[in-house]
Amino acid sequence: MSRPIVVVTRRVPGVLDIPGAEVRLGPDAIAPRAATLERIRGASIVVTMFSDKVNAEFLDAAGPGLRGVCNFAVGVDNIDLPECRRRGVVVANTPHAVTEGTADIAWALLLATARRVVEGHEYIRSGAFSANGTLGMADFMGRDLTGRTLCIVGAGRIGQAVAMRSIGWGMRVLYVARSMHWEFELAPLAARRVTLEEGLREADVVSLHTPLTPETRHLINAERLAMMKPTAILINTARGPVIDEAALARALRAGTLWGAGLDVFEREPEVHPELLGLPNVTLTPHIGSAEVRYREMMTQMVRENAMAMLAGRAPACVVA
Ligand code: 8YV
């Protein structure tokens, strides 16, 4: 009997060996869609990245032998879940492994934006610091975070990990969620659940942690951006389309919002051209989970999910 084929659409860190299966690792660089569709033909399992659109076309290309899709991400907005369910294709993801890394990037973006780290870095690199001499005492003024109010939008694992880090800054935590979350309400966070509008009005920092769904697309639009304090900072490490990027660029340019830190973009890998020219936004290229230990953990989770699927068991991280 021939061995089941596991196709991985991109190269992943760590070891992805699956006993009894033939694992076909993908290329380092992103492949054209047609090449990916060709590679997945006949696969029993496909390991997908958030950039792979897993829709009817993709499932057709894999063929009727496809048993499961293992997403190398916690977010599954790239996958047509009802279509997978209809075809009996199991879907799994990689929760937990991405939590701390993404929370670190949210804080890296927050601190960099609040204290204008990238502007400072570019000032030195450009030679301006050496040429102009010591800064004036009102130059490069940032915003402090100690004792300020942080609003977490989306009370999942990553939102909680971001909130936990704020204890070091003695921040007051608000959260926006459809239901009460005791891990937010209780010590050490002692957070208060608010509506999105209340959170936007009260917070000095708003950090987004919702999955991308039809309800959260453009959740942060021009009207909601206008509710934020002009001194506030907006952080997005969730999914780009949660923010109307054009509206955000306008608010940042007009100074009705003090700053933003973005790891994800509405039309990734494209970035709104206006954002590229603004000094009060810090940009990273979707590197939330890009850390050695966490990415290797993601590979291990994918491996275990795939092994369970091949054995006909429900994987630990089953989504659909
Ligand atoms: C990954 C992510 O970097 O887990 C997610 O949903 O967006 C990131 O952790 C990315 O998905 C890698 O494929």
Q: What is the mean pLDDT of the chain?
A: 97
Each residue's pLDDT tens digit, 7-46: 999 999 999 999 999 999 999 998 999 999 999 999 999 9
What pLDDT does 108 receive? 98
Ligand 1 centroid vs 49 CA: distance in angstroms?
8
> What is the average per-residue pLDDT within 181-206?
98
| pLDDT tens digits along 52-103 | 999 999 999 999 999 999 999 999 999 999 999 999 999 999 999 999 999 9
Checking 285-291 for CB contacts under 8 A at 24+ apart, the result is 286/50, 287/105, 287/263, 288/98, 288/101, 288/102, 288/105, 288/106, 288/237, 288/263, 288/264, 289/73, 289/97, 289/98, 289/101, 289/102, 290/101, 291/101, 291/104
Residue range 271-286: mean pLDDT, rounded: 97
Annotate 150-181 with three-state secondary structure. EEEECCCHHHHHHHHHHHHHCCEEEEECCCCC
Gap from CA of 134 to ligand 1 centroid (Å): 41
pLDDT of residue 37: 98
Contacts (Cβ under 8 Å, ≥6 apart) of 202: 149, 151, 174, 194
**Is the CB–ligand 1 distance for residue 236 below 6 Å?**
no
Q: What is the pLDDT of residues 117-176, one digit of tens each?
A: 999 999 999 999 999 999 999 999 999 999 999 999 999 999 999 999 999 999 999 999
What is the Cα–Cα distance from 228 to 301, expressed in whole angstroms?
39
Of all protein residues, the one whose alpha carbon is nearest to atom 4 of ligand 1 is: 73
Distance 50 CA to ligand 1 centre (A): 6
Residue among 146, 165, 171 at smallest CA distance from 99 = 165
The residue whose CA has the least distance to atom 3 of ligand 1 is: 289
pLDDT at 243: 98
Which domains, from first to last, does the chain contain? 5-97+292-310 (3.40.50.720), 99-283 (3.40.50.720)
How far apart are alpha carbons 316 and 304 in whole angstroms? 8
Given a cut of 80, whether residue 245 has pLDDT beyond it is yes
* pLDDT above 80 for 298: yes
Active site amino acids:
239, 268, 286
| Mutate which of 28, 52, 268, 286 for ligand 1 pocket (most atoms within 8 A of beta carbon) | 286
Q: Is there an atom of ligand 1 within 6 Å of 75 CB?
A: yes
Verify whether ligand 1 is closer than 6 Å to residue 103 (CB atom).
no
Percent of the chain with pLDDT over 90: 98
Q: Is the pLDDT of residue 2 over 90?
A: no
End-to-end CA distance of the chain: 29
pLDDT at 166: 98
Residue 30 Cβ < 6 Å to ligand 1? no
> Does 1 score more than 80 pLDDT?
no
> Residue 180: pLDDT above 80?
yes
Q: What is the DSSP letter of 241?
A: G
Residues 233, 230: Cα–Cα separation, whole Å: 9
304 CB-contact burial (10 Å; exposed 0-12 / middle 13-18 / buried 19+): middle
Of ligand 1's atoms, which has the minimum distance to the CA of residue 93?
A: 4
Q: Whose CA is nearest to atom 11 of ligand 1?
A: 73
